[in-house]
Amino acid sequence: MGKITNEELLQKLTAQFGENVTNVSEPYGLLTAETTRGQIIDLLNWLYNEPSLQFTYLTDITAIHYPEFEGKEMAVVYHVHSLVNNIRIRIKVFLAEGDINIPTATTIWNGANWMERETYDFFGVNFTGHPDLRRILNVDDMTVFPMRKEFPLEDPNRVDKKDYFFGR
Amino acid sequence: MQNFPAYTDTDLQSELSTLNLGPTHPATHGVFQNVLQLDGERIVSGVSTIGYIHRAFEKIAEHRPFYQITPLTDRLNYCSAPINNMGWHMSVEKLLDIQTPKRVDYMRVIIMELSRIADHIVCNGVLGVDTGAFTGFLYMMEHREAIYEIFEEVCGSRLTTNIGRIGGFERNFNDIAFAKIRQFLVNFPKTLNEFESLFNRNRIFVDRTKGVAPVTAEQALGYSWSGPILRATGVDYDVRAMNPYCSYEDFDFEVPVGTSGDVYDRFLVRNEEMKQSMRIIEQALNKIEKEDPNIFHADVPEFYLPPKEEVYNNMEALIYHFKIVMGEVKTPVAEVYHSVEGANGELGFYIINDGGRSPYRLHFRRPSFINYQAYAPMSRGMLLSDAIINMSSLNIIAGELDA
């Protein structure tokens, strides 16, 4: 099967999902699109099953915390790879603080299991329908989600590394 | 999506026993805990517990300038640290849009392929040890030492190398380094042949590995496997060939694949990969001779630390030195995903940058972490001793697993 370009991929994606695919960009040649929580599993399923695309390889699931984005505090990012066409796509779903739930992708890939557990462990993203959503790298009795931005690595009262000392 | 079947046997004993395999079991070569339910010697079910050496690298990386993240990547897969270092450098270079000269690419290729060989030496050697043959391991270990001596010559350290800089290398390869690389290419093939003749048709080894832990291509892809263990199932996915980075497109090499995805196939795939790596190194050495011997880094003064003697005697160098160390250099607001073919599979770096001196968020796609999750399901119905060699052949590195 021949290679397909980002434009062709985007055309097919918008033809299928229309309004539900937004904020399309192409940083460093990797097609990036945003979708909604309601559509994500349909979209991943479609990417997986569409015979001309075959995005059958899940590269990565992770999250990014943007505390300053009102109503879009948590981004869950999927990297999916079509080995047949050798093209990758990045899908993002933004979630609001207080309602960080998203359906699990373990229904499509077994490999999503630990990736989602890791994302839950560090960001508190609740993957609904996940068969075994427990902490994975941190201790079980931890109560916080440490990769969130409200947990600074160093003592926040420390002043010797403040930016204004360096003219920033 | 094809899952591993549950183990159902109507002749189960009335009572199962629980075995805590690890976290410090000598047979697992690392910090791995598996709580196994055993029926005699057969595993009924298992649960993997990981995170014993979790060091929060992703969090630490959010507070460090780009060049100080390199030592963190050393400690992911410490059996082939230079691949991680260079994968990281190349990701940052992609972010900053830095083009490296061909000679730098070839130097990197040499170092990366040497570390791939070093990693496979350990994996296949230990697989031999786990099946009861210490000899092969000792034969091969001598040559890992030779590789570490090359690293030492190039960067001064051996295991956690922190090799190279953003844009290239901290110093040029000297003649001794080149001589050692050439010597390695002469010495190692003999030992590898000897190693293969010790194992490939060895009755005990074949009986212990053939048909053990077979994995189909569908199962492997469903679990997002990558690297030699995926290729052993027959899928020819190799980042070097599919998305060439670091001028891999200039090289002529083959991607070995297996058929059944069992332990024996993984062993053969790794052996063949070492041979291909040597082919690549040989080509790289020939290509380097045609390049300007004085180039060992890209011309990016904003990111590449100037040599000390220039810092003290040259105004511009001093300014750049100060700007780099104090984090005054502008970086683009962007996100980038870059992956390299690590010794265990696709090693990816996902950087989200907000223009500051350190990344806003950095995520490592760690092949060991993703490969290991199939371990407990695939162990169902396996003999305990087979599960041990299965773990050896997956080549899970605890540092990469727990990050």
A6-104 is classed CATH 3.20.20.140? no
pLDDT score, position B297:
92
A154 at B interface, C-beta within 8 A: yes
Q: Whole-angstrom distance between the N-terminal and C-terminal Cα of chain B?
A: 28
Do the beta carbons of residue A92 and residue A75 sit within 8 Å? yes
ipTM: 0.91
Q: Tell me chain A's radius of gyration from C-alpha atoms.
A: 18
pLDDT tens for chain B, 403 residues long, are: 778 888 777 666 678 889 888 787 777 777 888 999 998 889 999 999 998 999 999 999 988 888 889 999 999 999 999 999 999 999 999 999 999 999 999 999 999 999 999 999 999 999 999 888 899 999 999 999 999 999 999 999 999 999 989 999 999 999 999 999 999 999 999 999 999 999 999 999 999 999 999 999 999 999 999 999 999 999 999 999 999 999 999 999 999 999 999 999 999 999 999 999 999 999 999 999 999 999 999 999 888 989 888 899 999 999 999 988 887 788 899 999 999 999 999 999 999 998 888 899 999 999 999 999 999 999 998 999 999 999 999 999 989 998 8
Q: Which residue in A has a C-alpha nearest to residue B367's C-alpha?
A: A59
Distance from CA of B106 to the nearest CA of A (A): 23
Q: How far is CA A159 from CA A162, B57, B91, B122, in A?
A: 5, 23, 32, 46
Q: What is the distance in angstroms between the Cα of B152 and the nearest Cα belonging to chain A?
A: 33
Chain A nearest-CA distance from B11, in A, is: 29
Give A158→chain B minimum CA distance, Å.
14
Q: What is the mean pLDDT of residues A79-105?
A: 92
Choose the closest CB to A146 out of B56, B95, B235.
Answer: B56
Which residue, among A59, A113, A142, would best test binding to B if mutated, counting the most B CBs under 10 Å from its CB? A59
- Tracing tokens 């791995």 back to the chain, one arrives at B32
Q: Is 70 exceeded by the pLDDT of residue A163?
A: no
Contact B112, B163 (CB under 8 A): no
A64 and B CB contact within 8 Å: yes
User: Mutate which of A30, A60, A148 to disrupt the B interface (most B C-beta within 10 Å)?
Assistant: A60
In angstroms, the CA A28 to CA A9 distance is 16
Alpha-helix residue ranges (DSSP H) falling in A35-144: 40-49, 112-123
Query: Which residue of B49, B221, B223, B224 to mutate against A (max A Cβ within 10 Å)?
Result: B224
User: What confidence score (pLDDT) does residue B147 get?
Assistant: 95
Residue A165 pLDDT > 70, yes or no? Answer: no
Is B334 in Cβ contact with A60 (below 8 Å)?
A: no
What's residue A168's pLDDT? 54
Domain locations in chain A as residue ranges: 6-104
In terms of Cα–Cα distance, which of B153, B156, B206 is closest to B184?
Answer: B153
| Contact: A59, B346; criterion CB under 8 Å | yes
Q: Which residues of A87-96 are buried (b: 16+ CB within 10 A; e: fewer)?
A: bbbbbbbbbe
The reply to whether residue B334 touches residue A110, judged by beta carbons under 8 angstroms, is: no
Domains of chain B: 57-297+329-402 (1.10.645.10)
Collect all residues of chain A within an 8 Å Cβ-Cβ radius of residue B237. Answer: 57, 83
Interface mutation target, options B1, B72, B215, chain A, most CBs of A under 10 Å: B1
A59:B365 CB<8 A: yes
pLDDT above 50 for A1: no
The answer to whether B350 contacts A62, with C-beta atoms less than 8 Å apart, is yes
H helix intervals, B238-383: 239-242, 263-289, 308-313, 315-326, 367-372, 375-379
Q: Are B350 and A58 within 8 A, CB to CB?
A: no
Q: CB distance from A1 to chain B under 8 Å?
A: no
Q: Is the pLDDT of residue A132 over 60?
A: yes
Which chain B residues are Cβ-neighbours of A41 within 8 angstroms?
none
A84 to chain B: closest CA residue = B237
Mean pLDDT of chain A: 88
Which residues in chain A have Cβ-Cβ distances shorter than 8 Å to B370? 111, 114-115
Given an 8 Å threshold on Cβ–Cβ distance, is B224 in contact with A59?
Answer: yes
Rounded CA gap, B44 and A31, in Å? 43
Question: How many angstroms separate the CA of residue B249 from the nearest CA in chain A?
Answer: 15
* Chain A residues touching B56 at Cβ < 8 A: 146
Which tokens in the block code for residue B321?
A: 């030195």
The size of chain B, in residues, is: 403
Q: With a CB-CB cutoff of 8 Å, which residues 22-61 of chain A face chain B? A: 27-28, 30, 32, 56-60
Helix or strand holding residue B44 (H, E): strand B42-49
Q: How far is A103 from chain B (nearest CA, A)?
A: 18
Nearest CA in chain A to B230: A57
Best mutation site among B373, B378, B401 for testing chain A: the one with the most A CBs within 10 Å?
Answer: B373
Q: Say whether A137 and B58 touch across the interface (CB within 8 A).
A: no
